[in-house]
Structure 1
């Protein structure tokens, strides 16, 4: 019974959510588009000519935002966007999509082949593992996904490149931030306005590779 009540409440909140309405008006596939927009504006990231990798891309709202930012005056994009997700994704114009599990080496190799030797300006990750509700297990899963995104970024980013990952406040969060600080010059935590108050999600923005 409680679950049914929760579902009704969630649906009510979702329908009345101003960001959901704005997403529909602007043609974004999810309200998450506004989280990325706010972070990009605050950090002054993503400009024409950039190479972007979008991890955990489905349904595609972050790729849509990236495409807007890279839109060329004569049509198409000035730059490159590679997107990856375990789920299928409806095509986004000018976005190269690879379906597969980022945690599998074979999928990672496919993504690396697609990228070639091209250095990356920005890695964005809205990936989140399926959570069990068991705090210790969930924090380990979240940390694992963040570490995978970081390892990919360290291997492919330009020296002044940036990484944006989704994490969750709670057990293990400070360890993730500490790990990122070992490898990046600047690490900032951002909670965009479009992120629901009840959600513990926090985005970690890491910039500039140390020792490069």
Structure 2
């Protein structure tokens, strides 16, 4: 998390730096856990689309208790490189690739995961319909891996963009989980379409053996006759319960607050510098004299 932000007076942004979190998104997972007790009894966790690593930091600090550091295994996966975190195994890989699934299972000793989460999101274009579609596809990609590795009764949490067709996604998730809840942490800006879908009680469909295949799309992966047996009409929409998370007395993520004179003079350095910034290649070309005006 660098020195610039959408609003430098965002207290969650500043608090993240003060407490050593790589991004303000750490508070979103903390508030979700306060509401749903996501970490209770959890020993094996997969953090998908993990970079820069704030959610992995939360998982490490909350789960890696001094009395049982070896019992908990946390795996973080992202296409982007990520600076190591104590107690976390980092994999730079594609979450849709079968080899990624195999690596995670090897780390877990062949045991299933208790909890899978994803805070991933595309670079938004501002075209809401397109952004919502891409985000839904990212969730389905994360769900593919989740169905292959999550234990029965396990939990899945992912970022969503609430839009016109979000109830269709809720319906799809309800086929595989006992409860599907839409949660909005207080640290998530109210002006944003962002929310989080909390899926509790994974229920694998009898007779369905999900397997990742490079040649199979997400639509083909989930389009299994066995998946829809004894279920309502697939076109039926579901209205998920909406829950606001976080202390009402906490700061408002959409508000700006006046800092006293002492704080205004204190510039906080980034907790973690970018490992692969988009401008890195341009800087390297400039040093070699390859970036010139024509």
Normalising by the smaller structure, the TM-score range is 0.7 to 0.9
In the superposition, the TM-score normalised over structure 2's length comes to 0.63
Tell me which of 3, 23, 47 is aligned to 1:54.
47
Where structure 1 has 5 or more consecutive residues not aligned to the other structure, the ranges are 1-9
> Cα RMSD between the aligned structures?
2.2
> Between Structure 1 and Structure 2, which shows a larger proportion of helix residues?
1
**More deviation in 88-97 or 104-113?**
104-113
2:199 aligned counterpart, secondary structure: strand
CA contact (8 A) 2:48 2:118 kept: yes
CA distance in 2, matches of 1:96, 1:157: 18
**More deviation in 115-124 or 98-107?**
98-107
In the superposition, the TM-score normalised over structure 1's length comes to 0.86
Tell me which of 5, 29, 33 is aligned to 2:26.
33
CA distance in 1, matches of 2:61, 2:153: 22
CA contact (8 A) 2:50 2:56 kept: yes
**More deviation in 180-189 or 64-73?**
64-73
**1:145 counterpart residue number:** 138
Judged with a 3 Å threshold, the aligned counterparts in structure 2 of structure 1 residues 200 and 77 are, in CA distance, closer, same or farther, namely: farther
1:30 aligned counterpart, secondary structure: coil
User: What is the deviation of 1:197?
Assistant: 1.8
Which of structure 1's runs of 4+ aligned residues deviate more than 6 A? none
1:98 aligned counterpart, secondary structure: strand
Tell me which of 90, 94, 97 is aligned to 1:97.
90
Judged with a 3 Å threshold, the aligned counterparts in structure 2 of structure 1 residues 114 and 78 are, in CA distance, closer, same or farther, namely: closer
CA contact (8 A) 2:177 2:199 kept: yes
CA distance in 1, matches of 2:74, 2:18: 24
**2:63 counterpart residue number:** 70
CA contact (8 A) 1:48 1:79 kept: no
1:19 aligned counterpart, secondary structure: helix
2:185 aligned counterpart, secondary structure: coil
CA distance in 2, matches of 1:174, 1:45: 23
CA contact (8 A) 1:48 1:70 kept: no
**1:18 counterpart residue number:** 11
Where structure 2 has 5 or more consecutive residues not aligned to the other structure, the ranges are 206-294
User: What is the deviation of 1:153?
Assistant: 1.8
